[in-house]
Amino acid sequence: MSKGKVIKSQMLGATQKLKNEMGRHYLAIEQAYREGKPVAWATSGTPVELLYAMDVQPSLPENSATISAAQKYSQNFIEVAEDAGYSYDLCSYFKTNMGVTLTKTTDLGKGGIRKPTFMLSSDVICDTHVDWFQVQAERFKVPHFTIDVPHVVSNTTNKQKNYYKKYVKEQLWEFLDFMSDILGYEMDMEKAKEVANNSWDLSMVWQDIYKLRKNIPSPVSTKDTFGGLFPLFTMPGLKTPIKLYKRMYKEAKQRVDSGVGALEEENYRLMFEGIPFWYNLKFFNFLEQWGAIIVYEPYTYSFSKFMNPDITKDMIVSNPVESMAELMLSFWYIYDLKTRIKKFEETVKEYNIDGVILHNNMSCRPNSCGQYDLKKHLMDDFDIPCLIIDADMNDPRKLNTTQVTNKLESFIELLRERKKR
Amino acid sequence: MTKIAIVDSGVDTPEEILMAADIIPFRFFGDPSLNITKANEHVPPNHCIWARNLLERALNGLDADIKGLITTHGCDCTNREFDIWLECVDLDFMYFLNAPLKRDKAAIKFFVDDMKELIQQLETKFNVKITKEKITEAIKLTNKIRNLLKEISEYRSKMVLKGSEFHEIVKKVQQEDKKQTLAMLENKLEELKNKETFPEKMKRILLTGSVIDDSEFIKNLETLGLQVVMDDICIGTRYFWDSIEENGDPIKALSKYHLKKPIYSTKIPSLQRFDNLKHFTEKYEVDGVLNVAQKFCEPILYDHPHMSKAFKALEIPYLFVEIEYSRESFKQLATRFEAFAEMIGGK
Ligand code: SF4
Ligand code: SF4
């Protein structure tokens, strides 16, 4: 298939500041260690807000693992973990983190991480999170709290969701007790409200940025969102990332107002499901040669967690602990198959999407499970072109670049043919 | 009699609730001789092969007397694949039982809530009344069964009952009408009391790991001189080790029983599974521990390095294998098992 002229997407100027913002986060971690303040490891999907509310510095191993990958160290760490007996088939985030700790890597630039005061995990997204922290808590001999979140499936009723919520709420209070026992002080409710307020605002600006992506051409590409998502799960509750997102929004809005897109020439609008390949983000630029742009990623959107229409800012701020239960149960990333199909179909319409790329992530069974059925429904019921690619978010050994490139080429060809219809 | 199929990656489904509704709890097993095709259209290649096999079986058609299904939460596989079952398996009643990950007070309360919901949905669907009295009656029956199984299990260690035969017995109990299995177990126990030890000298193995539902796998070990004298698997001691409280609220008793019995790798803290295994190695004087993971079984894969290290520290021989859930792989595995058998000391 003949390629078009080389057109490069433009990252927003504000996104360049993301490095500083994340730098601030890592600095805060360093400072906490220096000053002997409490630091907690947390898995994604947990209420990190409650850590901030308790003056505990969060440190997210998944985030560190992406740095290892981006700096091309992840494979090495993964292999160290495999040498220690962890299977080739286990999650590569876990193995990166295990390799980092086995090699005692603390250099933040390599994705290094240190022993925390305690750990917080949850099975809301995957069991791996819990198994991972269990193993690490045992190695480091630190306390570990897990929030067990019942799984919502396609036929879960509202009545069931209510007692699911009750169970999660109870554990959230237990978690506060757990922290108080370790730290020797109670949570300041006013602080918790302020954190909740900031977290809400941060998410809302992110959602506003997303709304702008509905425009044709889209002002924002994955160059802004793949990395741009990090503050959402490392710093929900702080003020500074809100400023960064607002700048991103402002600039994107200007682009929209002047009819400028992230891509000079936008031919195909795509949706990307799954975690990107952090070790090869450039790979996504490859799509640009055909004027194809990814305008929606459930993964980066899902971390702006306040998307349940039944939840208001008031509810979050006035009840910063218990409201987290509702959020944990209605997280985009864990939607049941039926809801996922519906949500995909709606999104494709809203964002004028031409095709969907689904990443069958070798690491992530919870995410890849159901993808075949999702694809089938989108294609058969709604005539939405879909492509599944097999790879892994942190393990470069599992991405066959030639194979995936060929698949993408054929997919774009298919989209081109459809446009001619 | 109506049957309800149980898909459980552990053994955490309260069968007594079904029995109280005069329904036969029918634990669903895989079939290692199946050629997997249909399930591959739904489940990506690197997902648990045992769960894939179960789906294939279901897609090939279920027996007419199976009127419903309960999938019990254990690992990521069970809850995500349940949605696929909902999509393509033709059954009117399908319930996802959220057996909790944790085992504390809040979890016990939650499990009670979820069991109550199950009861209500069963009552509505099958037009039955599941009373507490009937559940208690069922508990008394399953307690008897558990006690018998526990007694029979000991004959493995006495080298009177082959591990594979015992495995087949437990499978039967998990699939058939409990009243009938009670009589079968009583007879078996009587028969065992008068039986001689088997003549061949065998090494004593403690079996742990994923769900193992193919008795042939254990038979294969026996041909290589390895006798499973003890286990901590779901089609094994985890099914009958403890008893359920017979007094008081039966639903709470069921919840407590399931959350207090010997821990499995799908629950937290799963690393405590080792403590139970260690106790068994001492009590049953085992020559070695065999940890078997169905290919892609994450819970076992996470626990294995810890176990390996811990058994090494105790100087107890430990072998970890991943299996393909097909009998064709037996030959290949035999080399490893033979080497293991040679390495471990016989008594
Ligand atoms: S990639 Fe998947 S399995 Fe790994 S930590 Fe993330 S959600 Fe869990
Ligand atoms: S074998 Fe392992 S992965 Fe498969 S269903 Fe059982 S616990 Fe889950």
Model confidence over B150-201: pLDDT tens digits?
999 999 999 999 999 999 999 999 999 999 999 999 999 999 999 999 999 9
The C-alpha atoms of residue B44 and residue A371 are separated, in whole angstroms, by: 8
Task: Provide, as residue numbers in chain A, all residues whose Cβ is less than 8 Å from the Cβ of B117.
Answer: 159-160, 163
CA separation (Å) from B191 to B166, B172, B186, B206, B275? 13, 18, 9, 24, 33
- What ipTM does the predicted assembly reach? 0.96
Task: Provide, as residue numbers in chain B, all residues whose Cβ is less than 8 Å from the Cβ of A154.
Answer: 82-83, 86-87
Same domain, yes or no, for B150 and B119? no
**In 3D, which of A252, A235, A194, A219 has the Cα closest to residue A20?**
A235
Q: Which residues contact B240 (CB under 8 A, 6 or more apart)?
A: B145, B146, B147, B149, B150, B153, B170
Same domain, yes or no, for B111 and B222? no
- Kindly indicate the confidence band of residue A7, based on its pLDDT and cuts at 50, 70 and 90: low
Q: Would you call A123 and B42 a contact, using CB atoms and an 8 Å cutoff?
A: no
Residue A389 φ/ψ, nearest 5 degrees: -120, 140
Q: Which ligand is nearest to the CA of B7?
A: 2
Over residues B21-39, the pLDDT tens digits come to 999 999 999 999 999 999 9
pTM: 0.97
Q: Which atom of ligand 2 is nearest to the CA of B49?
A: 4
Q: Would you call A89 and B94 a contact, using CB atoms and an 8 Å cutoff?
A: no
Beta strands across the sheet bearing B288-294: B226-231, B203-209, B288-294, B318-323
Same domain, yes or no, for B118 and B178? no
Same domain, yes or no, for B123 and B166? no
Q: Would you call A134 and B270 a contact, using CB atoms and an 8 Å cutoff?
A: yes
Same domain, yes or no, for B339 and B226? yes
Distance from CA of A381 to the nearest CA of B (A): 14
Q: Which atom of ligand 2 is nearest to the CA of B294?
A: 1
Q: Which residues contact A232 (CB under 8 A, 6 or more apart)?
A: A202, A203, A206, A241, A303, A304
8 Å CB contact between B301 and B333: no
- What is the distance in A from the centroid of ligand 2 to the CA of B285? 29
Same domain, yes or no, for B154 and B252? yes
Nearest CA to ligand 1 atom 3: A364
Q: Of B130, B156, B187, at which residue does a domain stop?
A: B130
The C-alpha atoms of residue B29 and residue A211 are separated, in whole angstroms, by: 48
Same domain, yes or no, for B169 and B309? yes
**What average pLDDT is seen over chain B?**
96
Using N-to-C axis directions, what is the helix angle for B132-157 and B250-260, rounded to 10°? 30
| N- to C-terminal Cα separation, chain A | 18
Same domain, yes or no, for B7 and B119? yes
The C-alpha atoms of residue A180 and residue A187 are separated, in whole angstroms, by: 8
Cis upstream peptide for A47 (omega within 30°): no
**What average pLDDT is seen over chain A?**
95
The C-alpha atoms of residue B126 and residue A394 are separated, in whole angstroms, by: 49
Over residues A67-77, the pLDDT tens digits come to 999 999 999 99
Same domain, yes or no, for B336 and B191? yes
Same domain, yes or no, for B277 and B209? yes
- Kindly indicate the confidence band of residue B346, based on its pLDDT and cuts at 50, 70 and 90: low
- The label of the residue with tokens 């993301």 reads A18
Beta strands across the sheet bearing B66-72: B24-27, B3-8, B66-72, B93-97
Its sign, for the CA torsion A393, A135, B212, A154, is negative
8 Å CB contact between A336 and B51: no
The C-alpha atoms of residue B296 and residue B302 are separated, in whole angstroms, by: 11
Q: How many domains does chain B have?
A: 2
Q: Of chain B residues 266-325, which have a CB less than 8 A from chain A?
A: 266, 268-271, 296, 298-299, 301-306, 308, 322
Range of the domain at B122: 3-130
The C-alpha atoms of residue A195 and residue A187 are separated, in whole angstroms, by: 12
Q: Which atom of ligand 1 is nearest to the CA of A275?
A: 1
Interface test with B, best of A127, A166, A172 (most B CBs within 10 A): A127
Q: Would you call B47 and A89 a contact, using CB atoms and an 8 Å cutoff?
A: no
- Looking at the predicted structure, is the pLDDT value of residue A1 above 70? no
The C-alpha atoms of residue A317 and residue A320 are separated, in whole angstroms, by: 5
